[in-house]
A and B are shown apart, each in its own frame.
Chain A
Amino acid sequence: MKKLVALMMALAMLLSVASVVAEDAITLKIAHIGPTTGAAALYGLATLHGAEVAAAEINEAGGKYKIELINEDDEHNVEKVINAYNAALDAGAQMILGTTTSKPCEAAGAQGYTDRVFFLTPSASSTAVIEDKDNVFQICFTDPNQGKASAQYIAEHKLGQKIAVIYNNADVYSTGIRDTFVPTAQELGLEIVSETTFTDETTDFTVQVADAQNAGAEIVFLPIYYTPASLILKTAADKAYKPIFFGVDGMDGILSVEGFDTSLAEGVMLLTPFVATSTDEKVVNFVTKYQAAYNEIPIQFAADAYDGIYILVAAAEKAGITSEMSAEEACDLLIAAIQEITVDGITGSMTWDETGAVTKTPMAATIVNGEYVFE
């Protein structure tokens, strides 16, 4: 018993010392919510790691703000995300960096709209994420905007006339992009010669690739995640079919698929605001630190989350958030503040309007010698 009391006192002293040290800085409690386990873990871990790099950087610099990062796993599940969100608020979170994936973000964002909690999502890109709520803001493009931008890019750069689309019709992200890509492409005078679908369980893409090949498509548009994309590239290589493969941000990560022959991805183009091989000073700094900490090349999601922490700090500064504010008190101040700031991050220069959508310039990268290169 005595030992316990002594231990408690020691702890109390330690805590009081710690609070004296941090007295000057304002502590922002930011919760990262994303799938750190399960099928979408690669994205959740990327956003978590990106946020951790940014938080460590800010804490080391020892400026006006200190970041306390809380992490909650949502398993990319609409039911579990509410639990993660509630656990984060129980832990004292003032604002939320998340959630990483679209559908959970839609559910948690709606709950946050009722409870008045501010959300800044690095990578949830469907329009439903920001629709009908004033509390959710995005760092990435919405899916329809990605589809539109892809079609415009292909038309402007005259990459080809005949286009095949292979998409996952059981996936919100994939159908969302496809639904604006096809009409935009047709408006711009491009020809959709083949359109085939698959679902999450599909592992054989022979039919889809053969259809594109037989229709003579010069470009195969893949608004899908990188795992099925890697299988499609393999199938096309087996059939000696060499169109231009054009992907969107879900394609990012294809070079890190285990057991995938990266030479198959040569010449693949993708719409992404971030490439790790860029010589931009800020990007180099981020990539170096990220590699040192996690021993891997960061993907776009990590970069988005890295920017996310800086955006939250900028918005908090504008709004005058203090350590004691609750999530409810901070929410409306942050909503007003984020619409007034411009953040020059590693994924571009960003501004926001009241819809929650971001404004920044789209860029396309090509894979050359196993690396992403901007045009």
Chain B
Amino acid sequence: MKLTKAKRNKLIYNIVTFALVIGAFLILQSMIANKTITRSLKGQLVPICCWIVMAVSLNLVIGISGELSLGHAGFMSVGAYTGAVVSGLLMHVYDIQDPTLRLVIAIVAGGLLAGIVGALIGIPVLRLRGDYLAIVTLAFGEIIRNLVNVLYIGTGDGRLYGSFLNKKLPEGITMLVDGAKGAVKIKPISTFTAGFILVLITLVVVLNLVNSRAGRAIKACRDNRIAAESMGVNVTKYKMMAFVTAAVLAGMAGALYGLNSSTVVPTQFTFNQSINVLVFVVLGGLGNVLGSVISATLLTILPEMLRAFADYRMLVYAVVLILVMIFTNNPTIRSFLNRLIAPFKRKETTGGDAQ
């Protein structure tokens, strides 16, 4: 099979990405099996998977589709709340006790609802450009958070009760979502394996989308909207495709995240959280999926590694962020790194020529 150089590079990139993720999973699983893993790291595995999915999906919107979205945590909260309610509903009303089945249904439901919300938001929003889009998505994230803040859902006698703004529910029912108290009494059912599978699904979806015909159209819209339009590319359609896909993935990550804890509060999904994910994406490199995976992992673990610094922890974290940003963008260091990789690259090219 003969491949062009660009295609071959893409293939290598994809293989490296999957190999890294699967390799990390296998190493961690063996560590769990022979109990050499610390509690601290074990507790972070599921959140790390969630943040990887969040970062990769946001990268699809920002890096690949070229739209600045500042409301990604909003989709995550839709997923988290949907996941919590669906899981509670399945347990109390439909009496499904199998945690894996509940988790799968909850994640799918979280993704679906976030996708629907994403489509509804996308229709008006994606007609805007640049700063306007950023501001509208920011507002969306805040609106979602304020809505769930006054949402009350509960179950009792095999029925689902809900009210909005005021808690007008009958006494003695099991509350699932309790306004400012957030989603309560969740039975944590998320597992690292589920998180790993979700990361794999995300990578397959995003990498395939990027390297497909639709992906090229999305990138064309990003690079030059007018040129893409004049070539007959339906700009809004392709931007919607990227936006809704990202929303679905964020919703799924949210459901996994929500079901990993016994409680979820609206204040977890503030504007700051969206910015946090944006930091993962920017640090990993816009459009670089593998970069997002690595940066989301490292930046989630880093604050925990810095616990030894006690009070100066977040200060050190900020300094590390600044240093990484400066170093990865410094032309001298970049050319130095390139020179380091150069010998291997040349070998690969000659190998390719010989085929």
- Report the bound CA distance from A111 to B265 in whole Å: 17
Interface residues of A in 128-167 (CB under 8 A from B): 128, 132
Question: Which residue from chain B places its CB closest to the CB of A87 in the assembled complex?
Answer: B40
CB of B289 to closest CB in A, whole Å: 24
| Given known A-B contacts A87-B40, A175-B179, A110 and B310 have beta carbons under 8 A apart | no
What separation, in Å, do the CA atoms of A86 and B42 have in the docked complex? Answer: 9
B319 smallest CB distance to A (angstroms): 15
Tell me if B184 is interfacial: C-beta within 8 Å of chain A: yes
A37-B311, A126-B181 known; A83-B261 Cβ under 8 A: no
A298 to chain B, nearest CB (A): 19
Mark A25-64 against chain B: 1 for CB-CB distance below 8 A, else 0. Answer: 0000000000011000000000000000000000000000
B127 lies within 8 A of chain A by Cβ: no
CB-defined contacts of A87 to chain B, threshold 8 Å: 39-40, 304, 307
Chain B: CB-nearest residue to A83 = B304
Known: A78-B264, A111-B262. A170 touches B304 (CB 8 A): no
Interface pair B263/A79, CB less than 8 Å apart: no
Q: Is A252 an interface residue (CB 8 A)?
A: no
Q: Are A73 and B181 in contact (CB under 8 A)?
A: no
User: Across the interface, do A128 and B310 meet the contact criterion of CB distance under 8 Å?
Assistant: no
Selected contact of B261 from candidates A71, A78, A89, CB within 8 Å: A78
Q: Which of B44, B181, B303 contacts A172 (CB 8 A)?
A: B181
Contacting residues, chain A, for B263 (C-beta < 8 A): 78, 103, 106-107, 110, 128
Min C-beta distance of B197 to chain A, whole Å? 21
| A82 at interface by CB-CB < 8 Å | yes
Q: State whether the Cβ of B130 lies closer than 8 Å to any Cβ in chain A.
A: no
Q: Which residue of A lies closest to B41 (CB)?
A: A86
Q: Check: B43 CB closer than 8 A to any chain A CB.
A: yes
Chain B window 255-266, contacts with chain A (Cβ cutoff 8 Å), 1 for yes, 0 for no: 000000111111
> In the complex the two chains form, what is the Cα distance from A313 to B139 in whole Å?
50
| Interface size counted on chain B using CB atoms at 8 A | 32
Give A176's nearest chain B residue, CB to CB. Answer: B181
Indicate whether A170 sits within 8 Å of B180 (C-beta atoms), given known contacts A83-B304, A110-B263.
yes
Confirm or deny: A218 has a beta carbon within 8 angstroms of a beta carbon on chain B. no
Q: Which chain B residues border A171 with CB–CB below 8 Å?
A: 180
Residue of B nearest to A36 (CB): B311
Q: Are B307 and A73 in contact (CB under 8 A)?
A: yes
Q: Is the CB of A106 within 8 A of B40?
A: no
Minimal beta-carbon separation of B264 from chain A (angstroms): 7
Chain A contacts for B184, CB-based, 8 A: 106, 128
CB <8 Å contact, B313 and A73: yes
Residues of B within 8 A of A36 (CB): 310-311
| Distance of B146 from chain A, by nearest CB (Å) | 8
Verify if B38 is at the interface (C-beta below 8 Å from A): yes
Interface residues in B304-339 (C-beta closer than 8 Å to A) = 304, 307, 310-311, 313-314
A316 to B304, CA, bound (A): 30
Complex formed: what's the CA distance from A309 to B331 in Å? Answer: 55
B28-47 CB contacts (< 8 Å) to partner A: 38-40, 42-44, 47
Please report whether the interface of chain B is mostly helix, strand, loop or mixed according to DSSP. Answer: helix
Q: CB-CB < 8 A to B179: which residues of A?
A: 169, 175
Q: Is B288 interfacial (CB-CB < 8 Å)?
A: no
The answer to whether B216 has its CB under 8 Å from any CB of chain A is no
Interface residue ranges of B267-321 to A (CB < 8 Å):
267-268, 303-304, 307, 310-311, 313-314
Give the chain B neighbours of A172 by CB distance below 8 A: 180-182, 265
Bound-state CA distance A80–B310 (Å) is 14
* Contact of A175 with B180 at beta-carbon distance under 8 Å, contacts A37-B313, A78-B264 already known: yes
Specify the chain B residue showing the minimal Cβ separation from A110. Answer: B262
CB neighbors of B among A197-254 (8 A): 199-200
> Are A86 and B43 interface neighbours, CB within 8 A?
yes
Closest to B185 in A: A132
Q: Complex: how many Å from CA A72 to CA B181? A: 24
In angstroms, Cα B268 to Cα A169, docked, is 16
Q: Decide: A170 and B313 in contact? CB cutoff 8 A.
A: no
CB of B23, distance to nearest CB on chain A (Å): 24
Taking CB atoms, residues of chain B closer than 8 Å to A86 are: 38-40, 42-43
B39 proximity list for chain A (CB < 8 A): 86-87, 89-90
Q: How far is the CA of A132 from the CA of B39 in the complex (A)?
A: 24
Known: A107-B262, A170-B149. A79 touches B181 (CB 8 A): no
Binary contact track B233-267/A, C-beta < 8 Å → 1, others 0: 00000000000000000000000000001111111
Given contacts A37-B314, A73-B307, A90-B40, contact A169 B149 (CB under 8 A): yes
Verify if A184 is at the interface (C-beta below 8 Å from B): no
The distance from the CB of A328 to the nearest CB of chain B, in whole angstroms, is 12
B268 touches which one: A73, A79, A110 (CB < 8 A)?
Answer: A79
Give A85 to B179 CA distance when docked, in angstroms.
Answer: 26
Contact (Cβ within 8 A) B307 A72: yes
Taking CB atoms, residues of chain A closer than 8 Å to B180 are: 169-172, 175
The answer to whether A262 has its CB under 8 Å from any CB of chain B is no
A-chain residues with CB within 8 Å of residue B185 when the two chains form the complex? 128, 132
User: Whole-angstrom distance between the alpha carbons of A176 and B178 in the complex?
Assistant: 11
- A126: chain B residues at CB < 8 Å are 181
Q: Is A196 an interface residue (CB 8 A)?
A: no
A339 within 8 A of B: no
Say yes or no: is A77 at the interface (Cβ < 8 Å to chain B). yes
Give the 5 A-B CB pairs with smallest separation, nearest first. Answer: A110-B262, A86-B39, A86-B43, A86-B40, A87-B40
**Sampled A-B contacts (20; CB under 8 Å):** A73-B313, A80-B303, A83-B40, A83-B44, A85-B43, A86-B43, A87-B40, A103-B263, A106-B184, A106-B263, A107-B263, A110-B262, A126-B181, A169-B149, A169-B179, A170-B180, A170-B266, A175-B179, A175-B180, A200-B267
Q: Which residues of A contact B (CB under 8 A)?
A: 36-37, 71-73, 77-80, 82-83, 85-87, 89-90, 103, 106-107, 110-111, 126, 128, 132, 169-172, 175-176, 199-200
Known contacts A72-B307, A86-B40; 19 further A-B pairs (Cβ under 8 A) = A37-B311, A73-B307, A78-B261, A83-B40, A83-B304, A86-B38, A86-B43, A87-B39, A87-B40, A90-B38, A107-B262, A128-B181, A128-B185, A172-B180, A172-B182, A175-B179, A175-B180, A175-B181, A199-B146
